[in-house]
Structure 1
Amino acid sequence: MQADDLLTKHGDALYAFARQRLDNDDDIADCIQETLLAAIKGSAGFEGRSAERTWLIGILKFKIIDVFRRRSREIPYEAPEMNDESESFDSHGHWQKQRAPRSWAKTPLEELEGAELAEHLKRCIGHLPGPMRIALTLRELEGFSTPEICKTIGVTATNLNVMLYRARLHLRRCLEEAGFQGTEN
């Protein structure tokens, strides 16, 4: 098993997978390189019970998680510039009618199939502060549980829930600013 052969056969798939989860080209290149090195070192343990590409992407997932762990220790948390959350709620904690979430004109899945929404979503996620982006990526793209995310990025469950809430609120506002509006209930 040679790194050049693996890169030729699976480089595009590895890059696409890493690109969806990481926003830094250097981190992407490092993760792919570390994945190939780990694959070569561990090639004796590859029993062929899965496709070679599946095995490589499994290794890549762990390399990406390592980047998330490193980033969570390096990047101080900063809340994104957002309007005061209290503007959205009345004195009883209920949504104000004009700020309440509206149903989407199409289902999120139908919208996601559109390339425009996917591009705006990537851009909006890219504007989130590092820890918030990492938490959202682990939850929504990787399907990690709360305890797994808390352990990975070193936060409490309460802090994680606040981060995810704010990230989702930011994404909704960002998408609405780009013209993706819900419908009236």
Structure 2
Amino acid sequence: MPTEKGLEAGLEDLSILDPKKWVERYADYLFRYAILRIHDQDLAKDLVQETFLAGLKSLSGFAGKSSERTWLTAILKYKIIDLYRKESSGLANIKDLKQEEASQDDFFYNDNGHWKKEYAPRPFEELADPLRDKEFNRILQDCMKKLPKLWASVFTLKHMDDEKTEVILDELRLSKANFWVIIHRTKLSLRACLQKNWL
């Protein structure tokens, strides 16, 4: 295990990295990145700390092909994916899916599957006002918190992180059919929540 002096000597060789300034430079950014994806402040703080520790442990693995911030963000992203994977495994999620499926009956007619009039999609208005954008984002985050964890994980990876479908399937161990059902139901749930709380 390297001593602090040895670690500092090693850092001179890796002049691109400056771990002593990571908290000052990147903690707020990484916290915002995490909180938008997991909606839990304490957990987000823990993940940022774990990211810094993982970065320190893998200093020698930094190839210099990206900036410090990009490298640390990638570490955090994989920590969040690990969290998603843990949360999405097990029978609890099957229960969540069944409960959510039952709640979908509120939105559609059973005989033909069409929207009930009061829940039918309405067009969203364009957002140009920063205050309204902020309000919309707050409501969207509240709606995201109401989703089953697996659904929120899949939606976040696909639509916030722009991950490829194959990566999501592999990381969360989902079948393609399950993935598309989850995406569809998530969009329906978010749309209904946004229409109820925003429009």
TM over 0.5: yes
- Counterpart Cα distance in 2 of 1:123 and 1:99: 19
- Counterpart Cα distance in 1 of 2:198 and 2:40: 27
CA 1:120–1:4: 2 relative to 1, 3 Å:
same
| More divergent stretch after superposition (165-174 vs 33-42) | 33-42
> Is 2:47 aligned against 1:31?
yes
CA 1:71–1:94: 2 relative to 1, 3 Å:
closer
Match for residue 149 of structure 1?
A: 168
Given that 1:90 and 1:96 are in contact with CA atoms closer than 8 Å, whether structure 2 keeps it comes out as no
Match for residue 181 of structure 2?
A: 162
CA 1:24–1:4: 2 relative to 1, 3 Å:
farther
Q: How far is 1:117 from its partner? A: 0.6
TM-score scaled by structure 2? 0.76
- Displaced runs of 4 or more, over 3 A: 1-4, 88-91, 93-100, 109-113
CA 1:86–1:67: 2 relative to 1, 3 Å:
closer
> Is 2:192 aligned against 1:176?
no
Q: Which has the higher helix share?
A: 2
| More divergent stretch after superposition (6-15 vs 121-130) | 6-15
- Counterpart Cα distance in 2 of 1:18 and 1:44: 25
| More divergent stretch after superposition (34-43 vs 94-103) | 94-103
Aligned length: 177
SS in 2 for 1:177: helix
TM-score scaled by structure 1? 0.81
Match for residue 153 of structure 2?
A: 134
Runs of 5+ in structure 1 lacking a partner?
Answer: 181-185
Picking from 79, 82, 87, the partner of 2:108 is: 87
- Counterpart Cα distance in 2 of 1:116 and 1:141: 18
CA 1:85–1:139: 2 relative to 1, 3 Å:
farther
RMSD over aligned CA atoms reads 2.7
Specify the structure having the higher radius of gyration (Cα): 2
**Paired AA for residue 134 in structure 1:** S
Match for residue 79 of structure 2?
A: 63
SS in 1 for 2:108: helix
- Counterpart Cα distance in 1 of 2:72 and 2:159: 21
Given that 1:138 and 1:144 are in contact with CA atoms closer than 8 Å, whether structure 2 keeps it comes out as yes
Residues 124-145 of structure 1 show CA distances to partners (whole Å, capped at 9, x for unaligned) of: 0010011111111111111122
- Counterpart Cα distance in 2 of 1:126 and 1:98: 23
Picking from 110, 118, 124, the partner of 1:104 is: 124
**Paired AA for residue 139 in structure 1:** K
SS in 1 for 2:163: coil
